[in-house]
């Protein structure tokens, strides 16, 4: 491609706040300005704008399955709302308003049984706001029971699930012992020891294994299981007491005390539905027993277990290898106790000599290490890593704190005689290794690794250091090529993933295998076969688009992939006009990925026009380079200048800035912060490579996102949502909390809540705010929901009478927190004397390990979109189901797990499953159903945008342009009033 010179590109740049270039040119030409610069950066997985379409999700939680506002204004009561009201809602209304609950006998909606009504009314009759504020356990609300099973199906499908049945003897007991391990030092002049007060990281598992090896009669290894912290579970009685253990030259004191007996009959009672609550202590003990051998033989990272040796074909050849492991957990299901095992891949630094790692990872030869060119890279690559040494026999791991300032040949230290017979003397490091360890140092001209502290340095030559095997390599630091190879290993096709998973189970638990012997000692057995279950495939909904003749266009999606296209005269339902927009080309100085402006702009305008999104010519086109994005102040200056230039041309408010970049860059965060928080102007970003290709799909995806950001409507459902009548005014709320990385101990968590404000549930208003670090509970959920309800009333003239809340990111043991804190806070905030809407809470979980596979030799690939399962593999009594709503073109599809934990609207299983599936089709930025219900998906995108704001504010704090603790200040997250109620985050 040759650069097109049809348009006048004005050289130069800005001088004293001004910029070169003019406004729109005549004859289809655009006037451009230009500035020079360079850049380099990476992007996070969630910055999907670069692709102009829907994409995956990239948040990183590690879990198994992630105030009161003013009283709302009085609105007329709805007759249908009171006619449909169920008793528990009336009771809740009185609870929230502080009124006494009057006992009464009424009938519920058809899908509620009498026992459940009595349980809920009995619970609410003793409940008060005061008790809730005190977290009264006795009065806590619990998730509702399943009303029925779904039957809705276009066809049935036979499935296999990665659940492996667990058998146990209910008459058995597991003995739990408390264990306390402390490092000890010898008392001066005495053979006794005392506990060392200074805390150091103690290798607890290694000490426990040493304890078992030294006292095999008292602590039989294969009849005990250690959780790595405070508990030892045993199949036999252990001898309590205090024991001394020596490990790597250090002494440790182990104190063992009897804790209690765990009766497996309690778990059996729950499985037989004779108990209300899962005996979590028993489940925890069994989980530790099942993993006892895995903890000894494999490397544990989060929930994953990985081998210590990688397959030869999985060497990524950059000092890193892919290790194929598994994620495993125990669950109680309708089918009994099961072990859920899923295939997992993790990149680890290979257990290779440090010099070999540098050669592979940085392409650095030994003699190049001291050079200034490589020094910084070497220090960055090695600092913080764990290594072992080869010049002496020890398993101890040392942390690399840096490199020595001098080369090995020049390093000396003062050696003291421990017996006190000789005076301290200065010894060269090379002589010391020759005389003490009989090792001749070969590479004397390079620095040593610093394995000690600043006060007590411990220099060891690199040639005697080997990387430890349990150091995970950050995926974000992999090159594009290596990351692609790792992705290929992770995204296995369903048949291959199923075979890998079954192989992992057989390797560990088949008769004669290491793990089998341990669990047999506890009277436990595990099946080698996956669980069979019947699934149902729901029919996709009919959708409504627009057309070039202005009439509604009813379409039926493809039955296999559930996709639809925007061709053949199909337009968006409501297309917004883009009359005032500008373009910033950040690629003008890039040698290869420069934007062909003269081709891109007409193509974008034409494709958007065909979608019903009429675009005029841009008011201003500005050409520059990525240096503009290197600093938030430069970005602010650029955008303010551009907005002012456009205002001079057209007094109307600038609607959109299209930003084209040659590569991904962290300046994207600054761009979004300034445009959305400070200036109130929408931005749409994309890559120049995609823009130059100008494919119809890419341009259409840009049009979808632009229209949604400008409050247009892309697609609607033809039929009404299930369970709602024409008189109902319903609102869908999505809520999520985004936490900082595990290594970050200071940044706030970011909560995000979105609420629908139109009958088609296609337009959502966002609210995002910071809260306490790693706090999962949304602390001001009530006041935000009140704001959303009032915003709904502003758009519709009336408040919603039915609200469905989809809550993302909470684990099973946090359901009661959602009910007793977030839901209670919501009702306290929004309820008034005359306004008490029906409320339903649904938890959506994507971070689980359950996988569905087709159980038919004639069927290949993933389960089809619309596959739902609510038998066998679900909870014993809770109202939950698995739904795979999307088409899986790569890897193995993961169904989302939905749990209805509170329901005043009275959904049947068919209705809530149909509603959830339907909502997956109205996601604004793609023409296919997404894998997660749309309100939650939006909340997730919004939370990620809030995380970007937070990171940018933290940078501003560091540079001094923002006061300390600004990242916890809501003011730094408040959108400009023009964008406050828009879908800017799409």
Top-level CATH class of 575-702? alpha beta
* Sequence ranges of the chain with CATH classification 2.170.260.10: 352-468
Considering the domain delimited by 719-844+896-973, tell me its CATH architecture: 2-Layer Sandwich (3.30)
> For residues 423 and 565, what is the distance between their CA atoms, to the nearest angstrom?
86
**Distance, CA of 484 to CA of 651 (rounded, Å):** 48
- State residue 186's pLDDT score: 58
| pLDDT at site 193 | 54
Residue 615: count of CB within 10 angstroms of its CB: 23
Residues whose CB falls within 8 Å of the CB of residue 125, separated by 6 or more in sequence, listed in order: 91, 101, 103
Angle between helices 696-709 and 597-610 (to 10 degrees): 70
pTM of the model: 0.85
The Cα–Cα gap between 969 and 178 comes to 43
Phi and psi torsions of 167, nearest 5° = -110, 140
Confidence (pLDDT) at 128: 44
Place of tokens 């005061």: 130
d(CA 247, CA 244): 10
**Residue listed under structure tokens 């060891």:** 460
Q: What are phi and psi of 792, to 5 degrees?
A: -60, -45
- Give the gyration radius of the chain's Cα atoms: 32
**What is the CATH T-level fold of the domain 352-468, as seen in this structure?**
paz domain (2.170.260)
Closest to 331 measured CA to CA, from 270, 241, 260, 391: 270
Identify whether the C-beta of residue 29 lies closer than 8 Å to the C-beta of residue 621: no
- Measure the CA angle with vertex 693, ends 689 and 695; round to 5°: 130
- Name the nearest CA neighbour of 497 among 161, 189, 222: 161
- What pLDDT is stored for residue 190 in this prediction? 47
Identify the CA nearest to 511 among candidates 523, 490, 501, 525: 525
Per-residue pLDDT, 85: 37
Strands 386-389, 838-845: pairing is: unpaired
What is residue 200's predicted lDDT score, i.e. its pLDDT? 60
Instruction: Identify the helix (H) or strand (E) that includes residue 707.
Output: helix 696-709
Burial class (CB in 10 A: 0-12, 13-18, 19+), 339: buried
Closest by alpha carbon to 294, among 327, 254, 247?
A: 327
The pLDDT score that the predictor gives to residue 138 is 60
Return the pLDDT at 459: 94
Which pLDDT does position 452 carry in this prediction? 77
Q: Where in the chain is the domain with CATH 3.40.50.2300?
A: 575-702
Chunked into runs of 10 residues, the chain (986 residues) has average pLDDT values of 38 40 38 36 38 39 39 36 39 40 36 44 42 55 96 96 97 97 67 52 90 94 95 97 90 96 96 91 97 94 92 94 96 96 95 94 89 89 92 88 94 82 88 94 95 84 90 87 94 95 97 94 97 97 92 91 93 97 95 94 97 97 95 96 96 96 95 96 97 96 98 97 96 96 88 97 97 94 98 98 96 95 98 97 97 88 97 96 95 97 98 98 97 98 95 86 85 90 96
Provide the total of helices (H) and of strands (E) in the chain, helices listed first.
23, 41
Handedness of CA 325, 283, 518, 230 (dihedral sign): positive
Q: Where in the sequence of the chain do the CATH 3.30.420.10 domains occur? A: 719-844+896-973
Whether residue 713 contacts residue 572, with contact meaning beta carbons closer than 8 Å, is answered with yes
Cα end-to-end distance, the chain, whole Å = 32
Assess contact for 165 and 527: CB atoms under 8 A: yes
- In terms of C-beta density within 10 A (0-12 exposed, 13-18 middle, 19 or more buried), how is residue 119 classed? middle
Q: Are 543 and 570 in contact (CB under 8 A)?
A: no
């Amino acid at each position: 491609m040759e650069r097109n010179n049809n348009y006048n590109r004005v050289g130069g740049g800005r001088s004293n706040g001004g910029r070169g270039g003019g406004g729109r040119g005549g004859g289809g030409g655009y006037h451009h300005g230009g500035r020079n610069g360079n850049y380099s950066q990476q992007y996070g997985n969630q910055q999907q704008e670069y692709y102009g379409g829907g994409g995956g999700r990239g948040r990183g939680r590690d879990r198994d399955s992630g105030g009161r506002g003013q009283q709302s204004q009085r609105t007329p009561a709805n007759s249908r709302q009171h006619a449909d009201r169920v008793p528990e809602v009336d009771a809740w209304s009185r609870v929230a308003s502080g009124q006494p609950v009057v006992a009464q006998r009424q009938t519920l909606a058809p899908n509620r049984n009498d026992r459940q009504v009595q349980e809920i009314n009995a619970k609410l009759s003793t409940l008060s706001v005061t008790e809730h504020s005190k977290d009264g356990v006795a009065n806590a609300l619990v998730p509702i029971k399943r009303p029925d099973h779904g039957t809705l199906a276009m066809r049935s499908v036979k499935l296999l699930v990665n659940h492996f049945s667990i058998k146990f003897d209910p008459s058995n007991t597991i003995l739990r012992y408390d264990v306390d391990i402390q490092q000890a030092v010898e008392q001066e002049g005495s053979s006794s020891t005392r506990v060392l007060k200074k805390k150091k990281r103690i290798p607890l598992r290694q000490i426990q294994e040493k304890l078992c090896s030294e006292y095999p009669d008292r602590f039989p290894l294969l009849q005990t299981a250690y959780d790595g912290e405070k508990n030892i579970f045993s199949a036999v009685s252990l001898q309590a007491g205090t024991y001394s253990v020596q490990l790597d030259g250090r002494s440790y004191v182990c104190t063992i005390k009897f804790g209690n007996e765990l009766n497996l009959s309690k778990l059996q009672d729950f499985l037989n539905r004779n108990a209300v609550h899962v005996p979590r202590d028993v489940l925890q003990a069994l989980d530790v027993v099942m993993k006892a051998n895995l903890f000894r033989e494999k490397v544990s990272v989060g929930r994953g277990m990985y081998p210590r040796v990688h397959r030869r074909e999985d060497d990524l050849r950059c000092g890193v290898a892919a290790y194929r492991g598994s994620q495993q957990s125990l669950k109680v299901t309708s089918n009994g106790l099961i072990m859920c095992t899923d295939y997992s891949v993790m990149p680890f630094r290979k257990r290779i000599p440090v010099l070999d790692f540098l050669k592979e990872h940085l392409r650095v030869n030994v003699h190049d290490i001291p050079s200034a060119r490589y020094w910084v890279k070497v220090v960055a690559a090695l600092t913080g890593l764990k290594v072992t040494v080869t010049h002496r026999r020890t398993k101890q791991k040392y942390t690399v704190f840096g490199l020595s300032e001098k080369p090995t040949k020049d390093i000396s230290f003062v050696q003291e005689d421990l017996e006190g017979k000789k005076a301290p003397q200065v010894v060269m490091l090379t002589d010391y290794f020759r005389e003490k360890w009989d090792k001749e140092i070969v590479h004397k001209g390079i620095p040593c690794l610093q394995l000690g502290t600043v006060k007590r340095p411990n220099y060891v030559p690199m040639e005697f250091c080997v990387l430890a095997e349990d150091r995970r390599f950050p995926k974000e630091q992999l090159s594009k090529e290596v990351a692609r190879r790792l992705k290929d290993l992770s995204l296995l096709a369903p048949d291959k993933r199923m075979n890998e998973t079954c192989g992992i189970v057989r390797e560990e638990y088949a008769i004669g295998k290491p793990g089998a012997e341990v669990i047999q000692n506890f009277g436990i057995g595990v099946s080698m076969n996956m669980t069979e279950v019947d699934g149902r495939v729901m029919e996709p909904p009919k959708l409504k688009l627009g057309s070039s003749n202005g009439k509604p266009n009813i379409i039926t999606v493809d039955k296999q992939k559930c996709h639809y296209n925007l061709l053949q005269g199909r337009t968006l339902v409501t297309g917004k006009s883009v009359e005032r927009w500008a373009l910033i080309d950040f690629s003008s100085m890039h040698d290869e990925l420069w934007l062909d402006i003269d081709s891109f702009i007409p193509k974008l305008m034409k494709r958007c026009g065909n979608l019903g999104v009429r675009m005029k010519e841009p008011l201003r086109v500005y050409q520059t380079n990525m240096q503009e994005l290197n600093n938030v102040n430069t970005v602010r200056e650029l955008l303010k200048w551009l907005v002012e230039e456009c205002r001079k041309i057209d007094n109307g408010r600038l609607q959109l800035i299209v930003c084209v970049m040659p590569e991904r860059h962290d300046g994207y965060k600054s761009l979004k912060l300034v445009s959305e928080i400070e200036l109130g102007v929408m931005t749409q970003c994309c890559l120049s490579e995609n823009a130059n290709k100008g494919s119809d799909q890419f341009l259409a995806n840009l049009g979808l996102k632009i229209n949604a950001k400008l409050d247009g409507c892309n697609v609607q459902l033809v039929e009404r949502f299930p369970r709602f009548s024409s008189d109902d005014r319903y609102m869908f709320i999505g809520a999520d909390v985004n936490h900082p990385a595990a290594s970050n101990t200071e940044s706030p968590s970011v909560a995000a809540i979105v609420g629908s404000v139109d009958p088609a549930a296609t337009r959502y208003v966002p609210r995002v705010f910071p809260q306490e670090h790693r706090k999962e509970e949304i602390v001001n959920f009530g006041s935000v929901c009140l704001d959303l309800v009032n915003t709904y009333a502003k758009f519709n003239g009336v408040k919603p009478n039915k609200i469905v809340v989809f809550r993302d990111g909470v684990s099973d043991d946090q359901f009661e927190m959602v009910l007793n804190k977030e839901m209670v806070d919501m009702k306290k905030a929004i309820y008034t004397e005359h306004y008490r809407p029906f409320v339903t809470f649904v938890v959506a979980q994507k971070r689980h390990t359950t996988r569905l596979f087709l159980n038919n030799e004639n069927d290949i690939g993933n389960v089809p979109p619309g596959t739902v399962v609510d038998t066998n593999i679900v909870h014993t009594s809770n109202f939950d189901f698995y739904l795979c709503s999307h088409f899986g073109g790569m890897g193995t599809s993961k169904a989302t797990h939905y749990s209805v934990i509170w329901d005043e609207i009275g959904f049947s299983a068919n209705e809530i499953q149909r509603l959830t599936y339907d909502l997956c089709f109205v996601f604004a930025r793609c023409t296919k159903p997404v894998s997660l219900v749309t309100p939650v998906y939006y909340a997730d995108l919004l939370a990620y945008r809030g995380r970007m704001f937070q990171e940018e504010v933290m940078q501003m704090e560091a540079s001094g342009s923002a006061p300390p603790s600004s990242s916890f200040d809501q003011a730094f997250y408040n959108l400009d009033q023009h964008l406050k109620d828009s879908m800017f985050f799409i």
